[in-house]
Structure 1
Amino acid sequence: MKGPDGYSEEDWLALSGIQHFSFCKRQWALIHVEQLWSENYLTTAGHLEHERAHDYASSESRGDVLIMRDLRVYSRTLGATGACDVVEFHKSDDGVPLQGRSGFWLPYPVEYKHGKAKSIDADRLQLCAEAMCLEEMLACDIPEGALFYQQTRRREKVRLDETLRETVKADFQQMHDLFLRGWTPKPKRIRACASCSLRDLCLPELQKYQSAKTYIEKSLEEDV
């Protein structure tokens, strides 16, 4: 439950969940409410590509740029916690102080993704949520971040505007509500269902049946 100072730690949700939620609310609930998961070739490739990005020990300095990997972040306002793939800190007089570092630094989050840029905002919303966590922790403004896609090997710059920020806030509010109620939305078949690793657990085919009982009875009839 959210209080005057935000959500308490025991109510924090996984930051990365907003990417699932934006893509498919049922997928998010199956993973984060019902604790279900299944791998396919796409999720396995994504995990392998993230290994270096999530190696905190490989954080490094390159001149006036400090590159931090697997940086843990949180937001009491959103009620979320997680890890940024990469946060670049650029030395600048307009930046913020960092513990153990001299000078001032401007944070620039970079999220690594499998495949190529997408038309939907799921990846951009996750990046924006990470930036909002950093802003709350460091008391700074982060107007821009980037998405790096493994297939194209290119960065997509993302303006973290008010539209993205308001969507992040609204999505996390809905996620907290669903999580508190333990509610999983009903299946809604979309084109992306075909490549979803949770297809066999989700059963999007249930959409055209009034109940799971009706679906099972129909399946048994087809097998006879």
Structure 2
Amino acid sequence: MATVDPPEGTDAGPDAHAAGEADAAGKGDEAREADAIGEAEYGPGGYLPPRAAARARKIVLREQMGVGWPIAAVVAGLAIVAITLPLVLSSGGEPEAPFVDVGAIDAVPAAGSAFLDAGAAEVLVVRGTGSLLAFLDASEGAAFCPASRRIEDGERAWTVQGRLVVGEGSSLRPVAVSAFEDRLFVNIEEPAEPLPPNVGQEQLGC
């Protein structure tokens, strides 16, 4: 008995339909497996290994900054040299006029102060703060007080910047002071302007 093929475009029957679905399912599984293999080998879309990603970021940043960033770094370095070089050079020798030699640094107690003769005037030199300070217009008897860390004369007190904070009167005029080897030098010809007094409820410490 002869068999007759179904006409084109008609359903080939349940067996053919099941075979088609199995085929599609198989292809879907293969596609998912291929994607999984690809991700395992190369990572997800847009992924770079950490080292490669860091290198790429540096390249992008340099391209965005262009040649400006190395030039800016050089300019900043030159500015620092320009500021520090004069200080280094000036600290290499004995201070020149208008600085005058006022005596040995040992004439001033390391934790206190002393009056030294600068020729035209006496200056109060303070070492008790850990750095050298010098003032004009300090009254006789004025000295550094370790307890209050101020300059006091028994009736008045000044901060280590020379500002009057206790009693009546005026602030002290700071002058430049420098040490070279074991000698002290001050410049009394160019004193700084005294700070305005700020008398309040402060008490004497010495």
| Band the TM-score falls in, shorter-chain normalisation | under 0.3
Q: Give the helix-richer structure, 1 or 2.
A: 1
**TM-score (normalizing by structure 1):** 0.24
Higher relative contact order (CA 8 A, sep 6+): 1
**TM-score (normalizing by structure 2):** 0.25
